[in-house]
Structure 1
């Protein structure tokens, strides 16, 4: 008959065996295959977001967000949410540097016109933000990966899209606060420099044969006008911009002409038609494409305001 000491040793061995089995089971579940990162959608309440495709139930505090538009990227970072992935604009190499330290932590998932479903899925997002006008055909596949919210169009008033992104991230009030700060700064610049009647035009060289002029409803155009500058009247053809040929360059005349470039320190990036008509363009200013065109959102807006304020200050 077993003694009490024998029974005690047997019980101890059983406890050790059981504990070892549990550890081995845990290691096996973690060590075989690549497990998905923890998703906030499984641990936080959801909230409903009305968007271009209806209503989506999204995590109350999304942690792994993928964005497919510049305004979504900018706004998310401004709200303190660094996306795990972002589609990048075709005219920008990688994630724009103006976003600061956050840029280095964001993986590219293709370009804005052609995001990669494979790269998006590999990041195990808990929320995807896209655009109906550009990504409509991908909505079902994106929704199969994670809850997906679509803006109607990238051409919509950008401030409305900022609010939608804020809603999707459950930070609508903060998004509206950021816009309020931006508008207050516009008012301050307009009051400081008294630019009533002063005209400004944003020109984006596409190639040697096409230049785009940006209108009042564009991101940068609306920022110019919110500081009190005026974009010359023309038929904007119900668009945020119109294209002109080099022969029509005088249509871009204004008191200030802002030209987008990837190198603001290289005057050689000023288009030849403007250089050849220097008398008609006395104030040409090179500005960074990455935020004047692609940096739509509160952070990009303030970066554009930095440039405008500096340029107006230098002119005094």
Structure 2
């Protein structure tokens, strides 16, 4: 049975979370992140968590995160399936949880350590900023994250200024899965970044409101996503193999964006699953490289 920890002995401040005010230590040292966005924020703030969950479609942290790790956090579960015993064994000072975590699971985690969960409802391309600030408060690293957010804004503005000399390029972001390509919603993290950088990203009218992506498209319907730029994200080797097969098909070859050589394969762990300031900077760097002649 999980023991209830005496928070009042060391808690020095509180943060406002989805479940009300939560008391947290002033300078937590042992941090467990149960959400990729929280892992990103922790690293951007200069804290390497002792525990984290795997990235979607992988068995470890996201590839873009690797460059920011001097030591690897212990893996305490996968997306939506947390190993409570593994979390308990790490003796965390604070736990950073994903939005919309079931309350029953939140209550169990809160018995291990103060658990900070953002209040995020529905899809919002700017929600990651509020989440970043909340996690920064929980870590006592507000200044570091404000600096990181300012760096993201400056990088996006730099790209947008360069684009402003001409017409904003249109783009579609597609996640390629073994069952077929899915167009990603305009209301996600990455599309929000691309818009800030001056790109007219859209979902080709294929994504229902409040849903993160379209149903899988058949190759015959690929013409629906024939934008000026096409960013193709794969999460793992199976998705890469499916994309490779599609690229060899006549339906794919007929796309005008293919003829213009403006199809850009990207890492789905970054472009379609990540959030946070480090992810934002990595995406903007890749966008800039793709758009620069």
Fold shared per TM-score above 0.5: yes
Aligned partner of 1:277 in structure 2 is 252
TM-score by length of 2: 0.84
Contact 2:174 2:183 in 1 (8 A): yes
Distance 1:186 1:292, change over 3 A: same
The one of 209, 227, 240 equivalent to 1:237 is 209
Match of 2:117, SS state, is: strand
The Cα of 1:271 is off from its aligned counterpart by 5.7
Partners of 2:235 and 2:167 lie apart in 1 by 30
Aligned partner of 2:21 in structure 1 is 55
Quick check: 111-120 or 150-159, which moved more? 150-159
The Cα of 1:213 is off from its aligned counterpart by 1.4
RMSD between aligned residues: 2.6
The one of 279, 286, 289 equivalent to 1:300 is 279
Partners of 1:311 and 1:145 lie apart in 2 by 45
Partners of 1:171 and 1:288 lie apart in 2 by 29
Question: Of the two, which has the highest radius of gyration?
Answer: 1
Distance 1:294 1:271, change over 3 A: same
Distance 1:107 1:207, change over 3 A: same
Contact 1:201 1:252 in 2 (8 A): yes
The Cα of 1:299 is off from its aligned counterpart by 0.6
Aligned partner of 2:151 in structure 1 is 181
Distance 1:101 1:222, change over 3 A: closer
Partners of 1:67 and 1:197 lie apart in 2 by 37
Aligned partner of 2:77 in structure 1 is 110
Aligned partner of 2:189 in structure 1 is 219
Contact 1:134 1:153 in 2 (8 A): no
Contact 1:216 1:222 in 2 (8 A): yes
Count residues in correspondence: 273
The Cα of 1:240 is off from its aligned counterpart by 3.4
Contact 1:223 1:305 in 2 (8 A): yes
Structure 1: gaps of 5 or more residues:
1-38
The structure whose residues are more often helix, as a share, is 1
Contact 1:128 1:148 in 2 (8 A): yes
Distance 1:263 1:285, change over 3 A: farther
TM-score by length of 1: 0.78
- 1:259 and 2:232 matched: yes
Quick check: 284-293 or 42-51, which moved more? 42-51
Partners of 1:267 and 1:254 lie apart in 2 by 21
Partners of 1:212 and 1:267 lie apart in 2 by 14
Aligned partner of 2:91 in structure 1 is 124
Partners of 1:135 and 1:63 lie apart in 2 by 26
